[in-house]
A and B are shown apart, each in its own frame.
Chain A
Amino acid sequence: MTKFREIAQPMRMIATIALIVLISAGCVIILLAAGPAHAVRAAEEDAAPPAPLPLHLHDTGLYRADGKGDDLYAEVMTFTPQYTLWSDGALKRRWLRLPAGSAVDASDPDVWRFPRGTRLWKEFSHNGRKVETRFIERLANGDWRYAAYIWSEDGRNAVLAPDSGVKALPVAQAPGGVYDIPARADCRACHEGAAVPVLGASALQLSPARDELAVHGQLPSSDDADLRRLVERGALRGLPAALLDRPPQIAAASPTERAALGYLHANCGHCHNDSEGRAPVRLRLAQSAVDPQASRERALASMLQMPSRFRPAAAFDPAVVVAPGAMHRSVLGLRMASRDAQEQMPPLGTRVPDAEGLALIQRWIDNDLPTRKEP
Chain B
Amino acid sequence: MTSPMEPIAPIALKARRHRPAAAWVLMTVLASSGVDALAQAAQSGVSSDLVARGKYLVSTSGCHDCHTPWKMGAKGPEPDMSRALSGHPESLKMPAPPRLPEGPWLVMTAATNTAFAGPWGVSFTANLTPEPETGLGEWTLRNFVDTIRTGRHLGRGREVLPPMPILVYNNFTDSDLEAIYRYLRTMPPIRNRVPEPLAPGALQAANK
B140 at the interface (CB under 8 A from A): yes
Chain B interface residue count, CB cutoff 8 Å, equals 29
Given the interface pairs A189-B146, A342-B121, the reply to whether A280 lies near B152 with Cβ below 8 Å is: no
Chain A interface residue count, CB cutoff 8 Å, equals 27
By the criterion CB–CB under 8 Å, are B155 and A189 in contact? yes
B195 at the interface (CB under 8 A from A): yes
By the criterion CB–CB under 8 Å, are B155 and A342 in contact? no
A117 at the interface (CB under 8 A from B): no
By the criterion CB–CB under 8 Å, are A280 and B199 in contact? no
Mark each residue of chain A from 330 to 343: 1 if its CB lies under 8 Å from any CB of chain B, else 0.
00000000001111
B150 touches which of A188, A276, A311, A344 (Cβ 8 Å):
A188
A188 to B142, CA, bound (A): 12
* Chain A residues with CB under 8 A of B196: 310-313, 342-343
By the criterion CB–CB under 8 Å, are B154 and A280 in contact? yes
By the criterion CB–CB under 8 Å, are B146 and A277 in contact? yes
Mark each residue of chain A from 312 to 333: 1 if its CB lies under 8 Å from any CB of chain B, else 0.
1100000000000000000000
By the criterion CB–CB under 8 Å, are B150 and A280 in contact? no
* Chain B residues with CB under 8 A of A312: 196
A189 to B156, CA, bound (A): 5
A277 to B142, CA, bound (A): 6
A271 to B142, CA, bound (A): 13
By the criterion CB–CB under 8 Å, are B150 and A347 in contact? no
Q: How many Å from the CB of B164 to the closest CB on chain A? A: 14
By the criterion CB–CB under 8 Å, are A347 and B158 in contact? yes
By the criterion CB–CB under 8 Å, are A193 and B159 in contact? no
A278 to B139, CA, bound (A): 10
By the criterion CB–CB under 8 Å, are A311 and B195 in contact? yes
A178 at the interface (CB under 8 A from B): no
A347 to B198, CA, bound (A): 15
A219 at the interface (CB under 8 A from B): no
A274 at the interface (CB under 8 A from B): no
A278 to B149, CA, bound (A): 15
Q: Which of B121, B157, B202 counts the most chain A CB atoms within 10 A?
A: B157
B156 touches which of A279, A309, A344 (Cβ 8 Å):
A279
Chain A residues proximal to chain B, CB less than 8 Å? 185-186, 188-190, 192-193, 271, 276-282, 309-313, 340-344, 347-348
Chain B residues proximal to chain A, CB less than 8 Å? 121, 133, 136, 138-140, 142-143, 146, 149-159, 161, 193, 195-199, 202, 206
* A to B CB contacts below 8 Å, 6 in the list: A185-B151, A189-B146, A189-B150, A189-B152, A280-B143, A347-B153
